[in-house]
Amino acid sequence: MGDPKKKHKLYTTPKRPYDTASLEEDLKIIGAYGLRNKRELWRIMTELSTLRRRTRTMLSMDPVARAENEKAMIGRLHSFGLVGENAHLDDVLGLSIQDLLERRLQTVVFRRGMAKSLFQARQLITHGHIAIDSRKVKAPSYKVMRADEEKLDYAESSPFHAREHPLRKEITMAEMSGGETVER
């Protein structure tokens, strides 16, 4: 163990840091999901590799112990919206980095149309304009659970909470011109 006061890395760096193909792929993902730096991407990659490692360990267990652990893991991943309710361990092994990045608060805020871009969604979150169940969340990397997705809204103390705010009107107009009208 270590001293609980000391921060430890939550990510592992790539084994080949200057591989051109992986660098280009990383930059595409960073741009597509509005990540601040590569550490955020490495953190997700480490989380995914840990999840896969635990799944492979479960696959090698005896069927009795495996069934209980599998049910708990699938239930947890289902609550985060990563797999279906009747998923199997093979579905967990099939998860990708994009699946995990889609569950970040930053991406969910943008996909729900609460911000015009991923970068604006990140700014709204860090400035305290976004709340889940009337509780401000200031971490763009917060993993949104399925149950929390319906409770996602602007914070009550935020000026964006008022429907007459120019940003909300602008987003609503953009949605209407796009063909779908969603009242938030």
* Poorest-pLDDT segment among 67-76, 120-129, 159-168, 173-182: 173-182
Asked if 96 and 160 sit in the same domain, the reply is no
Tell if the pTM clears 0.85, that is, is over it. yes
Asked if 92 and 115 sit in the same domain, the reply is no
Sheet of 152-154, strand order:
135-136, 130-132, 152-154
Q: Give the residue from 72, 101, 130 where a domain finishes.
A: 101
11 in a structural domain: no
14 in a structural domain: no
Asked if 84 and 155 sit in the same domain, the reply is no
Under 8 Å between Cβ of 9 and 2: no
33 in a structural domain: yes
Asked if 96 and 110 sit in the same domain, the reply is no
Look at residue 183 in the predicted model and tell me its pLDDT.
47
Number of domains making up the chain = 2
More confident residue, 183 or 21: 21
How many whole angstroms separate alpha carbon 133 and alpha carbon 148? 7
Q: Give the residue from 54, 81, 101 where a domain finishes.
A: 101
- CA-wise closest residue to 70 among 47, 143, 61: 61
Asked if 31 and 91 sit in the same domain, the reply is yes
For 26, the domain range is 20-101
